[in-house]
Amino acid sequence: MDKFIVEGPTKLEGSVIVSGSKNASLPMISAAILTNENLILHNVPDLMDVDTMCKLMVQLGCYCSREKSTLRINCSGLNSDFAPYDLVRKMRASILVFGPLMARLRSAHISLPGGCAIGVRPVNLHINAIKSMGGRVEIENGYIISKADRLKGSTVYFDIPTVTGTENIIMAAVLAEGRTVIKNAAREPEVVDLIKLLKEMGAKIEGEGESVIEIEGVKSLKGTEYTVMADRIETGTLMCAALITHSEIEIKNVPLYAVDAILDKFVEVGGKYVLTDEGIIVKGERIKPTMIKTAVYPGFPTDMQAQFMAVLSLADGTSIVEETIFENRFMHVAELNRLGANIIVSGNKAVVEGVEELIGASVMATDLRASASLVLAALAAHGKTEILRIYHLDRGYERLEEKLTRLGAKIWRVKQ
Ligand code: EPZ
């Protein structure tokens, strides 16, 4: 398992380009199941999770190939509804083939995703919604076995505005008979980007970005060519790199429309920024303490919680971080404390007492965003930090160490 070695503290300078969004790319890849024609996606990040999704598509009988940041997918050869455990366990987002398979084949045989470091991650809301559209769903030996004579439009209410649940049901509904209304739908920008793609493929969808989405089923969808939005979480992570190293950098290709909550918190902790015609120049100085409470979009994103906690560990005072989306998303706390942070967790709240400095040590990555928070802390920590199990980071960040090195960071990948 690869590890990172990071020398700190370092100053960063120069400019960096944000890659395409992981969480917009994954549902779009599975949307290819909805048509027999070519789906060409540009600005797709080169990530382990994207590779896993492509492998799953090939497993289903589709063609999926990458040329630089362009993916070409064709599902005219779709001949299987089977998503095996050994693929799904590597990436929970594999559940995103559930809706498209029910729409196209009216059958799905998908391993239950199982949990991950940050939580149990159930898919009950996905399953109940498919049932309400006429799906007959059984759970057998850890697999979802689902069949339908025809998917019929229905009114679906989500108890929690689940992101991939919303994406699955939109993709099930676009080819269903009649009208589907999703109430309490997720409003994340990645859901909106998927809706934009589906509408270009001929889907009839109203309410993008709203919590009520209406879909009128159509007979078939056509192929198209689409450019994936930039990654708002990578953008926020790079903003935190400027904050924690007290540096000024330019971040290009920023999805400005999708980072309001992140920018707001960035300013609250002392960050300064200027918009440019290519993106944003961000500058970090003294870090101020603050309160963070994660929420569904347009609130502060849970995927930015760990990164901001690393920044707040060096604030001039005490901060409170409350995680409301996942039940176990504080795995980075113990590792940050190994670097000299002073963070106490009580239930879903963490009290972050700002310290003067962090000191390099060996730490362990536990999940994707926790890995990012450890990289950020290592950039500011005095001395050498070793970050183990960095494969977690490779799932969601495209060559982050190369981007940080170009900004002046002293970070090396050691292949093991
Ligand atoms: C998506 O996960 C993202 N992944 C996650 O990003 C992100 O953290 C999350 O949304 C929240 O924004 C992708 O888009 C591929 P949810 P998802 O369903 O869809 C509960 C990252 O770091 N729930 O919105 O799985 C669930 O347990 C990843 O890039 C149910 O109870 O999240 C959680 O507490 C991590 N039943 C809450 O809802 C269900 O059927 C939100 O989950 C579904 C969800």
Run of H or E including 349: strand 349-353
State whether 311 and 208 are in the same domain: no
Q: How many CB atoms lie within 10 A of CB 61?
A: 15
Closest C-alpha to ligand 1, atom 25? 164
State whether 339 and 404 are in the same domain: yes
pLDDT of residue 119: 84
**Amino acid type, 210:** E
Residue whose C-alpha is closest to residue 119's, from 316, 279, 348, 300: 348
pLDDT of residue 336: 98
230 contacts 183 by C-beta, under 8 angstroms: no
State whether 205 and 275 are in the same domain: no
Is the CB of 126 inside a 6 Å radius of any atom of ligand 1?
yes
State whether 222 and 263 are in the same domain: no
State whether 6 and 55 are in the same domain: no
State whether 245 and 217 are in the same domain: no
Give residue 313 CA to ligand 1 midpoint distance, Å. Answer: 26
Name residues whose C-beta falls within 8 Å of residue 369's C-beta, 6 or more positions apart in sequence: 233, 303, 304, 305, 306, 307, 329, 332, 396
**Joined tokens for residue 129:** 């919604």
State whether 141 and 240 are in the same domain: no
pTM of this structure: 0.97
Give residue 164 CA to ligand 1 midpoint distance, Å. Answer: 7
Q: What is d(CA 198, CA 31) in angstroms, rounded to the nearest whole number? A: 8
Q: Please tell me whether residue 339 adopts helix, strand or coil conformation.
A: coil
Residue with tokens 């879909």: 215
State whether 303 and 409 are in the same domain: yes
Domain boundary among 227, 242, 261: 227
Name residues whose C-beta falls within 8 Å of residue 142's C-beta, 6 or more positions apart in sequence: 85, 111, 112, 114
State whether 320 and 277 are in the same domain: yes
87 conformational bin, left if phi > 0, alpha if psi -120 to 50, beta if neither: alpha
Q: What is d(CA 75, CA 225) in angstroms, rounded to the nearest whole number? A: 15
Domain boundary among 227, 251, 266: 227
**Joined tokens for residue 276:** 């440019």
Q: Of residues 54, 62, 75, 116, which has the active-site annotation?
A: 116
- DSSP codes of every residue in 63-86: EEEEETTEEEEE-TT----EE-HH
Is the CB of 325 inside a 6 Å radius of any atom of ligand 1?
yes
Q: Catalytic site residue 116?
A: yes
Return the bridge partners of 213, or none: 182
Q: What is d(CA 197, CA 194) in angstroms, rounded to the nearest whole number? A: 5
Q: What is d(CA 167, CA 223) in angstroms, rounded to the nearest whole number? A: 18
* 331-361 burial code (b ≥16 CB/10 A, e <16): bbbebbbbbbbebeeeebebebebbeebebb
Give residue 380 CA to ligand 1 midpoint distance, Å. Answer: 30
Instruction: Provide the CATH number for the domain around residue 364.
Output: 3.65.10.10
Give residue 174 CA to ligand 1 midpoint distance, Å. Answer: 22
10 contacts 410 by C-beta, under 8 angstroms: yes
**Amino acid type, 240:** C
State whether 14 and 28 are in the same domain: no
**Beta strand extents in 63-187 (DSSP E only):** 63-67, 70-74, 82-83, 107-111, 136-140, 143-147, 155-157, 179-183
Is the CB of 23 inside a 6 Å radius of any atom of ligand 1?
yes
Give residue 296 CA to ligand 1 midpoint distance, Å. Answer: 10
pLDDT of residue 113: 87
Give residue 283 CA to ligand 1 midpoint distance, Å. Answer: 31
Of 163, 233, 328, 398, the one to substitute when testing ligand 1's pocket (max ligand atoms within 8 A of C-beta) is 163
Q: Please tell me whether residue 361 adopts helix, strand or coil conformation.
A: coil
Closest C-alpha to ligand 1, atom 41? 162
Of 130, 167, 191, 325, the one to substitute when testing ligand 1's pocket (max ligand atoms within 8 A of C-beta) is 325
State whether 193 and 81 are in the same domain: yes
CA dihedral (241, 243, 246, 248) in degrees, to 10, reads: 70
Q: What is d(CA 47, CA 73) in angstroms, rounded to the nearest whole number? A: 17
Return the bridge partners of 359, or none: 382
Number of domains in the chain: 2
Domain boundary among 227, 248, 280: 227
Pick the atom of ligand 1 nearest to 127's CA.
Answer: 40
Is the CB of 162 inside a 6 Å radius of any atom of ligand 1?
yes
Residue ranges making up the domain that contains 288: 2-19+230-415
Return the bridge partners of 23, or none: none
Blockwise average pLDDT, block size 10, the chain, 416 residues? 96 98 98 98 97 96 97 98 93 95 98 82 95 97 96 97 98 98 98 98 97 98 98 98 98 97 98 96 97 98 98 98 96 98 98 98 96 98 97 94 98 93
At residue 236's C-alpha, the angle toward residues 235 and 239, to 5°, is: 90
State whether 214 and 247 are in the same domain: no
Q: What is d(CA 386, CA 362) in angstroms, rounded to the nearest whole number? A: 5
Is the CB of 158 inside a 6 Å radius of any atom of ligand 1?
no
Q: What is d(CA 108, CA 238) in angstroms, rounded to the nearest whole number? A: 39
